[in-house]
């Protein structure tokens, strides 16, 4: 077979504010690959199918060497094995993990951080980058491990229309809590209402402090945004409230300072604060039950999931920007190729 294109997306420069498509990231088509003759050296060749674009991408956009930062981007993705010399990794199997390059084809030397994955027959692979993947697992394990939720308590979830927030909302409703949640558009607000949230508001057109003063105090705060909304949550927290800090996207593209009153409030109301990040969650404690229950509930419609699929590897830069600005309507996934 003649060599074919092996397009990729490269991290090209550190943005000063929001990332700039074509500058921060560059779509490169200069590489080619011969699928029949590419050396595997005991490894296996994968074809990238779907890629996740997540808020943490912006935090990772930092210089990586003194000689420059022109490098390949990796993140959560799903790929299919095209050819293999690796024991136990068969052609046609699928791999999932956070080290999938933003590239059409890649030779992988050992599974490493990747895992072989089988999908539920009624779910597309894209869902395994959202509600059935890292974001859903973060929500599920963080909630189970740190929320200490009791029926009748009040939880406030920011960025509720995202793949993490929407899962938290549904878990909280299953546990019998009153759910307050916010989003930044009419479409997202309507989606949050469909999840059964009790109090839904647009933080761009409503005063967060007034909503929380009326509907609180807050027993549990799941934070995906930080900034002034975190301040508002602190001002309306109950004694012994639990704050689950999962993200701070409001400050990713600016020099915004963290809360100046955080420590004072922690002391005055005996606030319990937990960072929620996938790398530090007890995976072995919760992953078996997650995979045993959540994909089936997503497939049946018992749990709803938000998803916005963009076609084309060349659109990665645009999708990164939309996620940072919050203009994406749901969990951002890039479809690179069909099987």
Each residue of 99-147: pLDDT tens digit? 999 999 999 999 998 999 999 999 999 999 999 999 999 999 999 999 9
Question: 220 near 241, Cβ under 8 Å?
Answer: yes
- 55 and 138 both lie in a single domain: no
C-alpha–C-alpha distance, residues 8 and 28, integer Å:
5
Q: Residue 258: give its domain's CATH number.
A: 3.40.50.720
- 96 and 147 both lie in a single domain: no
- 208 and 150 both lie in a single domain: yes
pTM score of the predicted model = 0.88
**What is the count of structural domains for the chain?**
2
- 149 and 269 both lie in a single domain: yes
Closest alpha carbon to 124 in 115, 116, 133: 133
221 contact partners, CB below 8 Å, separation of at least 6: 155, 156, 233, 237, 241, 242, 243, 244
Which DSSP string do the residues of 263-313 spell out, in sequence order?
HHHHHHTT-EEEE--GGGS-HHHHHHHHHHHHHHHHHHTSS----EEEE-G
The string of pLDDT tens digits covering residues 243-283 is 999 986 544 555 555 555 555 565 556 789 898 988 889 99
What confidence score (pLDDT) does residue 171 get? Answer: 98
25 beta partners: 11, 21
- 176 and 159 both lie in a single domain: yes
Question: 7 near 30, Cβ under 8 Å?
Answer: no
What confidence score (pLDDT) does residue 259 get? Answer: 54
289 contact partners, CB below 8 Å, separation of at least 6: none
List the domain range (segments joined by +) for residue 163.
134-279
- 273 and 161 both lie in a single domain: yes
Q: Which of 279, 295, 315 is the last residue of a domain?
A: 279
- 26 and 147 both lie in a single domain: no
What are the tokens at 130? 């959202």
- 225 and 325 both lie in a single domain: no
- 138 and 117 both lie in a single domain: no
Neighbours of 53 (CB within 10 A): 27
Domain for residue 294, yes or no?
A: no
Q: What is the mean pLDDT of the chain?
A: 90
What b/e readout covers 286-304, taking b as 16+ CB neighbours within 10 angstroms?
beeebeeebbebbbeeebb
Domain for residue 163, yes or no?
A: yes
- 148 and 262 both lie in a single domain: yes
């Amino acid at each position: 077979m003649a060599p074919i294109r092996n397009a990729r997306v490269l991290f090209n420069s550190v943005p000063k504010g929001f990332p700039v498509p074509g500058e921060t990231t560059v779509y490169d088509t200069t590489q080619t690959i011969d699928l029949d003759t590419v050396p595997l050296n005991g490894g296996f060749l994968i074809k990238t199918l779907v890629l996740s674009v997540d808020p943490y991408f912006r935090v990772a956009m930092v210089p990586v060497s003194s000689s420059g930062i022109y490098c390949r981007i990796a993140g959560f993705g799903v790929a299919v094995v095209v050819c293999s010399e690796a024991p136990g990794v068969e052609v046609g199997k699928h791999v999932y993990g956070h080290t999938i390059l933003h590239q059409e084809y890649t030779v992988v030397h050992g599974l490493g951080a990747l895992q072989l994955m089988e999908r539920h027959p009624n779910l597309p692979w894209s869902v395994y980058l959202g509600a059935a993947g890292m974001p859903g697992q973060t929500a599920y394990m963080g909630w189970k491990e740190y929320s200490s939720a009791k029926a009748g308590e009040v939880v406030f979830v920011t960025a509720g229309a995202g793949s993490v927030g929407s899962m938290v909302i549904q878990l909280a409703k299953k546990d019998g809590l009153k759910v307050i949640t916010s989003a930044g558009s009419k479409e997202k607000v309507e989606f949050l209402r469909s999840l059964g949230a009790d109090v839904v508001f647009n933080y761009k057109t409503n005063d967060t402090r007034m909503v929380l003063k009326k509907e609180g105090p807050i027993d549990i705060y799941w934070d995906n945004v930080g900034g002034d909304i975190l301040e508002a949550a602190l001002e309306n927290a109950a004694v012994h409230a639990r704050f689950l800090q999962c993200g701070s996207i409001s400050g990713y593209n600016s020099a915004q300072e963290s809360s100046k009153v955080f420590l004072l409030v922690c002391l005055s109301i005996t606030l319990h604060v937990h960072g929620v990040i996938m790398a530090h969650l007890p995976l072995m404690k919760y992953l078996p039950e997650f995979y045993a229950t959540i994909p089936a509930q997503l497939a049946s419609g018992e749990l709803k999931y938000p998803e916005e699929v963009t076609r084309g590897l060349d659109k990665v830069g645009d999708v990164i920007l939309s996620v940072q600005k919050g203009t994406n309507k749901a969990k951002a996934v890039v479809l690179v190729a069909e099987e």
